[in-house]
Amino acid sequence: DGGITQSPKYLFRKEGQNVTLSCEQNLNHDAMYWYRQDPGQGLRLIYYSQIVNDFQKGDIAEGYSVSREKKESFPLTVTSAQKNPTAFYLCASTPDGGVGQPQHFGDGTRLSIL
Amino acid sequence: AQSVTQLGSHVSVSEGALVLLRCNYSSSVPPYLFWYVQYPNQGLQLLLKYTTGATLVKGINGFEAEFKKSETSFHLTKPSAHMSDAAEYFCAVRGKNDYKLSFGAGTTVTVRA
């Protein structure tokens, strides 16, 4: 079955450490997105990519970085500059740029500080 | 930029009772509208969407929503709640030429036996 795979499901970060969250999709979707979810705040967009080798900052990009070297992969790095990284991170994708199309979501990665 | 307001962060209903979740958006042009459901420690699953056409949209699990342009609303309803409906629900909006979704803060539904 096609879908979005996020790994790991749980991740712990030490002080000053960068960590990378994986997102892989086999839906052949062009656009991919990263969201951060905090209780009572809904989902906030970190970065998105409409095509390979191109990506744009979302609403809360500071302290995060991404790459899009392959269509099916959109990893997110949480850098040491992100002072409050504890959250639930969700990856999503849409076909063909996605205008009007719903986003498909992975099952998320929960990141905590050690 | 689009904004979405979900009225009520928590809703408690009895099993078999009506479920009504409210969503209002800000936009001068009718956008695309979505409702998603999230179970604990999982991603979001699409319940239904409105793009064009019929303003009453039916989705999965017996849910439906009505787009009312004059009220800028897209409220979600289900006639009879089931225990399995206990989850968090998100309303989301996308502008006609926008690749980004704007989400409401979410409404947590609990179902009483």
Contacts of A67-70 with CB under 8 Å at 24 or more apart are A68/A32
d(CA B63, CA B8): 18
d(CA B23, CA B48): 14
Q: pLDDT tens for residues A25-63?
A: 999 999 999 999 998 888 999 999 999 999 999 999 999
> Mind listing the pLDDT tens digit for each residue in B21-62?
999 998 767 789 999 999 988 999 999 999 888 889 999 999
Residue B111 half-sphere exposure, CB side, CA atoms within 13 Å?
17
Within 8 A of B45 by CB-CB distance, chain A residues are 105
Judged by a CB distance cut-off of 8 A, whether residue A16 touches chain B is no
Q: How high is the mean pLDDT of chain B?
A: 92
d(Cα B63, Cα A112) in Å, to the nearest integer?
A: 35
Tell if the CB–CB gap between B9 and A45 is shorter than 8 Å.
Answer: no
Quick one: which of B5, B44, B49 has its CA closest to B27?
A: B5
